[in-house]
Amino acid sequence: MPKLQSKSNTILKTGSRAEYDLYPTPKRCVEQLLERQKFSGNIWEPACGKGDISDVLFDAGYSVLSTDIVNHGYKNFSSVADFLKCSYQDDMPRNIITNPPFKYATDFMKLGYNLTAQSGGKLALFLRLNFLEGQKRYHWYKENKPSNIYVFSKRQTLWRNGEEIPKGRSGTTAYAWFVWRGKSWDNNETTLDWIEPWVLMNFYF
């Protein structure tokens, strides 16, 4: 797996949000993606945080490059890299799966799409459902429609820094997986599907 280098770091401190926008993705959410999409080749997790997405991918048998803007102590961390400063390399992973920082989600989407269009792989982003909205994204979506959108029927709670979720604070935000197939997809229609709810206790185990 390549060790990516980036030119500079994007500072991720946004008011009351967690430093570096660290909101770990529930592992069951990743499992639900893998039950619906298969990925050919290795995978890059460019905002890996503490490894919640990467661990599920490793357990599923994928080869994973896990990078982030800082090292959060993840045991399988590959290298520090600012994703938004990276460019295409012939030996880069074929696919990208991540939960991008909220403030830079659009930038992650556009760059991730361009990179996977060149690699021939897939891009899968864990995003708020209202990411479908937005006048600035309208024209880009019209030209680069997702192949699949998987909506979580149950709202998800992503708690800052992976801390234990306080009692009574669950189901706060609607999320979905947005998937692009890049050059391998010649259809211009998006398939929308719903992910069934599950018991809260399974989120992080």
pLDDT at residue 6, as a whole number: 46
What pTM, to 2 d.p., does this model score? 0.83
Residue that wins the pLDDT comparison between 185 and 101: 101
N residues, the chain = 205
pLDDT at residue 193, as a whole number: 96
Looking at the structure of the chain, the number of domains it has is 1
Examine residue 6 and state whether it is found in any structural domain, yes or no.
no
Task: Fill in the DSSP letter of residue 126.
Answer: E
Q: Is the pLDDT of residue 140 over 80?
A: yes
A 10 A CB-CB count for 141 gives 15
Examine residue 17 and state whether it is found in any structural domain, yes or no.
no
Examine residue 189 and state whether it is found in any structural domain, yes or no.
yes
Examine residue 4 and state whether it is found in any structural domain, yes or no.
no
Q: Give me the CATH number covering residue 85.
A: 3.40.50.150
Q: Report phi then psi at 24, rounded to 5.
A: -55, 145
Q: What is the pLDDT of residues 16-43, one digit of tens each?
A: 444 556 778 888 999 999 999 999 999 9
Q: How far apart are the first and last CA of the chain?
A: 28
Q: What is the rounded distance in angstroms from the CA atom of residue 92 to the CA atom of residue 182? A: 15
- Could you tell me if 171 and 154 are in contact, meaning their C-beta atoms sit under 8 angstroms apart? yes
Q: Report phi then psi at 98, rounded to 5.
A: -165, 165
Q: Kindly state the tokens that stand for 137.
A: 């994204």
Examine residue 188 and state whether it is found in any structural domain, yes or no.
yes
Q: What is the pLDDT of residues 95-107, one digit of tens each?
A: 999 999 988 999 9
Examine residue 97 and state whether it is found in any structural domain, yes or no.
yes
Examine residue 36 and state whether it is found in any structural domain, yes or no.
yes
pLDDT at residue 154, as a whole number: 85
Q: At 5, is the pLDDT very low, low, confident or very high (cuts 50, 70, 90)?
A: very low
Residue 134 structural domain: 30-202
Examine residue 23 and state whether it is found in any structural domain, yes or no.
no
Q: What is the pLDDT of residues 66-81, one digit of tens each?
A: 999 999 899 999 999 9
Q: Which residues contact 76 (CB under 8 A, 6 or more apart)?
A: 51, 54, 55, 58, 64, 66
A 10 A CB-CB count for 175 gives 24
